[in-house]
Amino acid sequence: MRPDDQALRLPLPTDSPLEPPAEWERLRRQCPVATVELPSGDRAAFLTRYDHVKALLTDARFTRPKAGDGAARIAPEGVGGPAADGDGALTLPDRGEPHQRWRRQVGKYFTAKRMTALRPGMVRTAEHLVDEMIRRGRPGDLKAGLGFPLPVYVICDILGVPAEDRDRFSHWSDAFLNVTRFSGEHTRAAHDEFVAYMSAHIEAIRARPGDDLLGMLVKERETDGEGLSDQELIATGMGLLVAGHETTANMIGKMVSLLLADRGRWEGLLADPSLVRTAVEESLRFDANLGFGMRRYLTEDVEIDGELLPSGTTVVCSMPAANRDERAFADADRMDLTRSPNPHLTFGAGPHSCLGQALARTELQVALEVLLRKLPTLRLAVPAEELPRVQGLLVGGLSAVPVTW
């Protein structure tokens, strides 16, 4: 990465909503440490090879940029949500031992066993949502009918917040994650409302803590005095509510679209539903619309691919480009529903890898199983090239998935 390089602009263009940008292949081959220009006009280093992305994501020395780092911003000043540029008031420990302590305190609610215990309830919710979709008649929108509501119901249940408020969460998380649609003023207003809502919710829990995640965290603090502070509880609740539905809602829509875009894939699953687990992992690997990639702010010099990236550099790690790296995956551009092992980087890697990944995996498996069972004749109602994309979100996805059956 040299200052005089012609910088590529992110996000890179693609021909079709489910296809990766052609540029990824060239970058991995010729320019694995590229200079890119973000929508803010700021420059960053862009990594596209599996080994490089994984090495940087697992490097415990570096984390996401914080406000005040002077890191490259995604969106221009005054635009975009707190997720784009960090937020000063509500922060969680983001590195080292304090981060690990927070993560383990919260992470124990997302163990594989707990998710297995939640599974029957998720199946009932998914079945009910699919029945409703069938009742409304075809064609339908799989995103509105199942992809969005399923993870919202599940995360609301885990956090103990009322699912009736889901439209408000959706609005707040949109403002939180959208880097182009809203003005800075609008985003701040949404953020303040969200903080007020979550503060009131935590006050209510304190009076009568239940067995949900936030209730347990409050109880822990009161019994052993080692729990999270008020600010941390609010930030945890907000973070989980946003992360817990937006990403999975998008992924359900993209997974089903990828599987239906080539009918052979769907039929393969109908013939052998035991492939659901590996099919979910392969959909996660194959998804080209993960959004921006993960930023890391370098607080020390780092050498990548023989190139010195100086301290103060902002690096954008493209997990979806790394997931298509032939050096790591045989036939990387082929969607293989039996691929195993599948060490994709969609949930990141290392100490900051997705806290809710067991939850996301379970929700995706449940959504797919229920659809295969209840709607075996499911198909896209528009050509895959015409699927409408979400614009401006840090989390990439489809705004609707028109289907019929």
**Which of 252, 288, 358, 395 contacts other proteins by CB under 8 A?**
358
Which residue lies nearer to other proteins by CB, 73 or 324? Answer: 324
Beta carbon nearer to other proteins, 2 or 104: 104
Would you say 167 or 226 has its CB closer to other proteins?
A: 226
Contact 322, 333 (CB under 8 A): no
Are the C-beta atoms of 154 and 359 separated by less than 8 Å? yes
Residues numbered 42 to 61 that lie near other proteins (CB under 8 A) are 58
Residues 228-257, one symbol each (x = binds other proteins by CB under 8 A, - = not), give: ------------------------------
Task: Candidates 12, 67, 92, 354: give the one binding other proteins (CB under 8 A).
Answer: 354
Please identify, using beta-carbon distances, which residue of 28 and 361 lies nearer to other proteins: 361
Q: How many residues are present in the chain?
A: 405
Closest distance to other proteins from the beta carbon of 287 (Å): 17
Q: What b/e readout covers 35-66, taking b as 16+ CB neighbours within 10 angstroms? A: bbbbbbebbbbbbbbbebbbbbbebeebbbbe
Distance between CA atoms of residues 385 and 371, nearest Å: 22
**Which of 49, 143, 201, 361 is the binder for other proteins (CB under 8 A)?**
361
N- to C-terminal Cα distance for the chain?
Answer: 50
Q: Per rule CB under 8 A, is residue 353 in the interface with other proteins? A: yes
Q: Are 130 and 369 in contact (CB under 8 A)?
A: no
- Residue pair 75/40 in contact (Cβ under 8 Å)? The answer is yes
115 vs 195 by CB, closer to other proteins:
115
Task: List the interface residues with other proteins, window 89-118 (CB under 8 A).
Answer: 103-105, 107-108, 110-113, 115
Min CB(116)–other proteins separation in Å: 8
**Identity of the residue, 114 or 128, whose beta carbon is nearer to other proteins in the bound complex:** 114
Shortest Å, Cβ 332 to other proteins: 16
- Is residue 274 a contact residue for other proteins (CB under 8 A)? no
- Residue 245 C-beta: closest distance to other proteins, Å: 19
Q: Are 300 and 272 in contact (CB under 8 A)?
A: no
The CA distance from 31 to 7, in Å, is 12
Q: Where are the beta strands (DSSP E) in 132-198?
A: 140-141
Q: Applying CB under 8 A, does 351 fall inside the site for other proteins?
A: yes
Q: How far is the CB of 113 from other proteins (least distance, A)?
A: 7
Considering only residues 115 to 154 of the shown chain, the ones binding other proteins according to CB under 8 A are 115
Cα(261)–Cα(287) distance, integer angstroms? 13
**Is 279 one of the binding residues for other proteins (CB under 8 A)?**
no
The span from the CA of 159 to the CA of 236, in Å, is: 10
Least Cβ distance, residue 359 to other proteins (angstroms): 9
By CB under 8 A, name the one of 170, 357, 399, 404 that touches other proteins.
357
CB neighbour burial string for 115-126, b if at least 16 within 10 angstroms, e if fewer: beebeeebbebb
What residues numbered 196-225 form the site for other proteins, per CB under 8 A? none
Kindly determine how many residues on this chain lie close enough to bind other proteins according to the rule CB under 8 A. 27
Instruction: Supply 312's token pair.
Output: 């103060």
**Residue 240: which of 296, 156, 165 has the closest Cα?**
156
Choice between 349 and 403, CB closer to other proteins: 349
Residue 283 engages other proteins in binding (rule: CB under 8 A): no
Q: Are the CB atoms for 27 and 260 separated by under 8 Å?
A: no
How far apart are CB 51 and other proteins at their closest, in Å? 13
Longest dimension (CA), the chain: 60
Footprint of other proteins on 331-350 (CB under 8 A): 340-343, 347-350
Q: Shortest Cβ distance from residue 322 to other proteins (Å)? A: 13
Ranges of beta strands (E only) in 318-401 are 379-380
Contacts of 140 (CB under 8 A, 6+ apart): 133, 402, 403, 404
Query: Beta strands 33-37 and 314-317: pairing type?
Result: unpaired
Residues forming the site for other proteins (CB under 8 A): 58, 103-105, 107-108, 110-113, 115, 340-343, 347-355, 357-358, 361
